[in-house]
Amino acid sequence: MHEMSIAQSLIRIIEQEMVRNRVDRLVRVKISYGRISAIVPEALQTAFQALTHNTHLEGAVLETSEIPLRAKCRSCFREFSGGDDLFVMTCSHCGAEFGHEIISGKEMFVEELEVE
């Protein structure tokens, strides 16, 4: 459901960038989203298709790529990647389980537009 409001925000940014660059056909938009952000790509696709239907953005491809979860261990200060279990993140260097700091994996970015 929140994908609707995320798609709306995305479209607002696309429109602004297209006006600024004086183009009116969008071929593709690339976004990236963090592993623990609330984006479910399939749901975002559906929302994007629904909101662009019958507009000048209709037919544009939404390309999504996931940014992995990376954390910095607060015990040994080294970086490590999240595994399958996002709730218990064990440092791959020293085995510490608690208090890690997220370095990436929360973001939601519009990367680039391909326009004509």
Partner 1 sequence: MQIKVLRNILEANQRISDQLRAMFKENKILVINLMSSPGAGKTTLLEKTLVQLKEEFNMAVIEGDIQTSNDAMRIAATGAQVLQINTQGGCHLDASMIQEAVSQMELDSSDILFVENVGNLVCPAEFSVGEDHKVTILSVVEGDDKPEKYPLIFAESSVMLLNKTDLLPYVDFDVDKASGFARSLNKDITIFPVSARTDDGLDDWHEWLRREVDRKKQD
77 lies in the binding site for partner 1 (CB under 8 A): no
Q: Tokens 């952000």 identify what position?
A: 37
Q: Where are the alpha helices (DSSP H) in 35-111?
A: 41-52
Compute the distance between CA of residue 29 and CA of residue 113 in angstroms, rounded to an integer: 5
Nearer of residues 31 and 73 to Zn ion, judged by Cβ: 73
6 lies in the binding site for partner 1 (CB under 8 A): yes
Partner interacting with residue 106 (select from Zn ion, partner 1, none; CB below 5-8 Å by kind):
partner 1
67 lies in the binding site for partner 1 (CB under 8 A): no
Instruction: Give CA angle at 16 (56, 114), nearest 5°.
Output: 60
Query: In angstroms, how far is CA 40 from the centroid of its own chain?
Result: 9
23 lies in the binding site for Zn ion (CB under 5 A): no
* Number of residues engaging partner 1 in binding (CB under 8 A): 38
Least distance (Å) from partner 1 to the CB of residue 88?
6
